[in-house]
Amino acid sequence: MHRTYSLRSQRAPTAAQLQSPPPPPSTTKSKFFGKGSLSHTIRKNAAGALGPEMARKLAQLIKMEKNLMRSIEITARERKEVAKQLSLWGETNDDDISDITDKLGVLVYEIGELEDQFIDRYDQYRITMKSIRDIEGSVQPSRERKQKITDQIAYLKYKDPQSPKINVLEQELVRAEAESLVAEAQLSNITREKLKTAFNYQFDSVREHAEKIALIAGYGKALLELLDESPVTPGETRPAYDGYEASKQIIIDAENALATWTFDSAVVKPTLSFAAHEEEEYDADDLADEAEHLKVTESEWNEEDKATA
């Protein structure tokens, strides 16, 4: 948020930035190849065509995520330009419109800043997913080696069943299978660990972004309440605007709310239906009464048979 609470003055570091330095800039941010969908398609297809076959699908996903983040980067940049233009347009209007549009521009600009921060945090998810891709790529050679030895043994048993190479290859196959088991176990463990970590990064960044956007929207609507929309007749003078202090205070409150936001103070909490119902408890006496009520004696069965005979 702006320390001067206006887009028409120089920006200063926010309280949140001073208290909690942001993560390193995203590795996807670039001045080149960001806008064209053709370059996105080329990168995605190249990722799916190159590298070990086992890791290609995940490599393609990672490239698609990179394209997505570059699109968000463009959106953030355009949103900041929109905020500046809104303030510029309102400057030449009446006092109330001039003040309100400037303050609205501050909030819209802050949304662009949040989108930049979102990219940096979202990139942590993408980098973590890359570690799964790397381990997948390292497992592929052991699989191929085991398959190659298996094929060689099958070929020799068909062409020359008495070949001494068969025993040698079978021993190599045992070693290759042992190596493959270790690699597969490592892949299984790392995939689960990194997948959980990666999507925790993603959902934490999405949650923080959404909650802060909702805060800004709320303060933006509060600004609009300062705008007198009552109609005036021709020649009538509209009452003088006196909302400067109120609009400034709204921006200050918005800044404080964003700076002090934590996951503990998040408004939206997930509700899981399967965790909402506790096991029902039954009274022992009630169960005994029901069991007694359902009892049917042998004589009652006999009487029933006679009645129906």
- Measured in whole angstroms, how far is the alpha carbon of residue 179 from the centre of its chain? 36
Give the three-class secondary structure for 133.
Answer: helix
CB neighbours of residue 47 within 10 Å: 21
Q: What pLDDT, on a 0 to 100 scale, did the predictor assign at position 238?
A: 85
Q: What pLDDT, on a 0 to 100 scale, did the predictor assign at position 289?
A: 59
Question: If we measure between CA atoms, which residue out of 27, 128, 13, 139 comes closest to residue 73?
Answer: 27
Say if residue 1's pLDDT is above 70: no
Q: Has residue 15 been placed in a domain?
A: no
Cα dihedral value 236, 239, 241, 112, nearest 10: -50
Candidate ranges 30-44, 168-182, 254-268; pick with highest mean pLDDT? 254-268
Contact between 102 and 6 under an 8 Å Cβ cutoff? The reply is: yes
pTM, rounded to two decimals: 0.67
CATH of the domain at 206: 1.20.1270.60
CA angle 218, 224, 229 (to 5 degrees): 150
Q: Has residue 255 been placed in a domain?
A: yes
Q: Has residue 43 been placed in a domain?
A: no
Residue in the structure block whose two tokens are 């190479």:
165
Query: What average pLDDT score do residues 56-83 get?
Result: 92
Q: Has residue 261 been placed in a domain?
A: yes
pLDDT digits (tens, 9 = 90+) for 112-145: 999 999 998 889 999 999 988 888 877 777 777 8
Distance, in Å, from the CA atom of 299 to the CA atom of 81, rounded to the nearest integer, reads 91
Q: What pLDDT, on a 0 to 100 scale, did the predictor assign at position 3?
A: 45
Q: Has residue 279 been placed in a domain?
A: no
Instruction: Give the count of domains, the chain.
Output: 1
Q: What pLDDT, on a 0 to 100 scale, did the predictor assign at position 301?
A: 46
Question: If we measure between CA atoms, which residue out of 252, 271, 264, 267 comes closest to residue 212?
Answer: 267
Query: Which tokens belong to 239?
Result: 């009452």
Q: Has residue 181 been placed in a domain?
A: no
Q: Has residue 218 been placed in a domain?
A: yes
Look up the domain containing 123 and give its range.
52-137+194-228+242-268+284-303
Q: Has residue 84 been placed in a domain?
A: yes
Task: Give the sign of the dihedral formed by CA 219, CA 221, CA 222, CA 223.
Answer: positive
Which ranges constitute the DSSP H helices of 91-164? 95-159
The amino acid occupying position 215 is L
Lowest mean pLDDT among 13-17, 52-56, 135-139, 189-193: 13-17
Radius of gyration (C-alpha) of the chain in whole angstroms: 34
- Cα–Cα distances (Å) from 77 to 70, 88, 113, 114, 202, in that order, read 11, 17, 9, 11, 21
More confident residue, 62 or 143: 62
CB neighbours of residue 106 within 10 Å: 29
